[in-house]
């Protein structure tokens, strides 16, 4: 058992999950003067470069949205060996999120349950922070592509959701290498209803127009969907992505399902409601990627997320049709250089789609 896993099992599991997250993130940011000197900071830990959406990713595995909601540690996280960093979810207006406790672990499953509720400082504050980041020698603000994930403000009525997303797109697109519309979190009431094609089409068209209005070039646009969609609904989203010329689909978000868990029922009940992430999500997330690739054909990008912990998990998702991968729960359970190890191993095995 590695040193990090001993620390996790003996100390972190006895600490409130959200407090542990904030402490770990502070340590990652504080360590940036050192981690930028490590091999992981140069080329995603030796990972194989991937070109997708007109962008160069130094490694196939990136950091999923949710870890850095406000864009406060992008470069420090990139130094850990991620091939990209996706921040957010950011909403047009600042909001505190759901009441605490709202984050729990299920160690027997290597899983996390969250009902954070898009707690963030709001698009204007995040945009201001991104504008202040230093440019590197290539004229970019990060050594890896930066994704910005946007979602609906909770208090905004559903009939004003499009305008809410447009506001975020207008403020944040100038700083994004790619933009993700999140309509799949289970923790904002009514959000998943936006995944129906009838509601999703005008939303995506509006965000695309607004992004184009504020950018001098094409900023790739993707939509993030839930694993709990029926197969026919997944295919309908794929058809819509093709019809609108979207750059890709992020599959998948967390699940509301609790089937087949190794954790005792009492632990699952204590963790409460919200989205489940980690290995229990792996099979369905892989199925969704396979469905999408079969319908989309070879061109639109599919970003595989959910239950990726091992090299075998990553290979399986790539073989199912993913172009890029993302993780979050694996970082929590496997430690700060998990992404560097995975990207390096995938590069050695030549595992890309």
- What is the model's pLDDT at position 143? 78
Residue 35 assigned ligand-binding role? no
**Is 89 labelled as part of a ligand binding site?**
yes
Q: What pTM does this model have?
A: 0.95
Q: Which CATH number fits domain 3-349: 3.40.50.150, 3.40.50.11260, 3.20.20.70, 3.65.10.10?
A: 3.20.20.70
Beta strand extents in the chain (DSSP E only): 50-52, 55-57, 61-63, 85-91, 103-106, 111-114, 146-151, 178-182, 221-225, 248-251, 275-277, 301-305, 324-327
Tell whether the model's pLDDT for residue 42 goes beyond 60.
no
**pLDDT reading at 250 higher than 70:** yes
Per DSSP, the three-state class of 97 is: coil
The residue that leads in pLDDT, 137 or 206, is: 206
84 catalytically annotated? no
The whole-number pLDDT of residue 353 equals 64
Give the model confidence (pLDDT) of 56-69 as tens digits.
Answer: 999 999 999 999 99
Which long-range CB contacts under 8 A does 49-52 form with residues at least 24 apart? 50/83, 50/323, 50/324, 50/352, 52/248, 52/301, 52/323, 52/324
If pLDDT is split at 50, 70 and 90, which confidence band does 156 have? Answer: very high
71 is in an annotated binding site: no
For the chain, domain boundaries: 3-349
Give the model's pLDDT for residue 352: 67
Q: Which helix (H) or strand (E) holds 22?
A: helix 17-30
Work out the average pLDDT over 153-171: 97
- Catalytic: which of 84, 168, 185, 263? 185
- Does 254 count as an annotated binding residue? yes
Distance, CA of 174 to CA of 170 (rounded, Å): 8
Query: Strand, coil or helix: what is 49?
Result: coil
Q: Residue 245, Cβ neighbours under 10 Å: how many?
A: 10
Q: Please report where in the chains the tokens 């196939």 appear, as a residue.
A: 60
Is 271 in contact with 278 (CB distance < 8 Å)? no
């Amino acid at each position: 058992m590695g040193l990090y896993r001993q620390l996790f099992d003996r100390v972190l599991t006895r600490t409130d999950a959200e407090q542990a997250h904030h402490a770990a993130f502070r340590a990652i940011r504080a360590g940036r003067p050192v981690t930028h000197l490590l091999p992981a900071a140069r080329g995603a830990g030796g990972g194989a470069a991937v070109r997708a959406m007109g962008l160069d990713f130094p490694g196939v595995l990136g950091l999923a949205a949710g870890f850095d909601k406000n864009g406060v540690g992008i470069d420090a996280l990139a130094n850990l060996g991620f091939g990209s960093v996706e921040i957010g979810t950011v909403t047009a207006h600042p909001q505190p999120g759901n009441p605490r406790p709202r984050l729990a672990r299920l160690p027997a499953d290597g899983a996390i349950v969250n009902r954070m509720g898009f707690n963030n400082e709001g698009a204007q504050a995040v945009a201001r922070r991104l504008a202040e980041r230093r440019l590197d020698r290539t004229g970019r603000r990060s050594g890896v592509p930066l994704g910005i994930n946007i979602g609906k403000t909770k208090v905004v009525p559903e009939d004003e959701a499009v305008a809410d997303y447009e506001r975020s797109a207008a403020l944040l697109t100038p700083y994004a290498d790619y933009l993700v519309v999140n309509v799949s979190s289970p923790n904002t009431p009514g959000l998943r209803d936006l995944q129906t094609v009838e509601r999703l089409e005008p939303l995506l068209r509006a965000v695309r127009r607004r992004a184009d209005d504020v950018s001098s070039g094409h900023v790739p646009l993707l939509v993030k969907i839930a694993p709990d969609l029926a197969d026919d609904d997944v295919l309908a989203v794929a058809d819509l992505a093709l019809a609108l010329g979207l750059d890709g689909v992020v599959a998948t978000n967390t699940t509301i399902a609790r089937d087949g868990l190794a954790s005792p029922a009492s632990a699952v009940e204590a963790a409460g409601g919200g989205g489940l992430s980690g290995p229990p999500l792996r099979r369905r997330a892989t199925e969704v990627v396979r469905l999408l690739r079969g319908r989309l054909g070879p061109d639109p990008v599919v970003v595989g997320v959910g239950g990726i912990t091992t090299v075998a998990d990553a290979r399986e998702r790539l073989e199912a049709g993913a172009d890029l991968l993302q993780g979050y729960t694996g970082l929590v359970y496997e430690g700060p250089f998990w992404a560097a190890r995975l990207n390096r191993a995938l590069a050695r095995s030549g595992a890309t789609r």
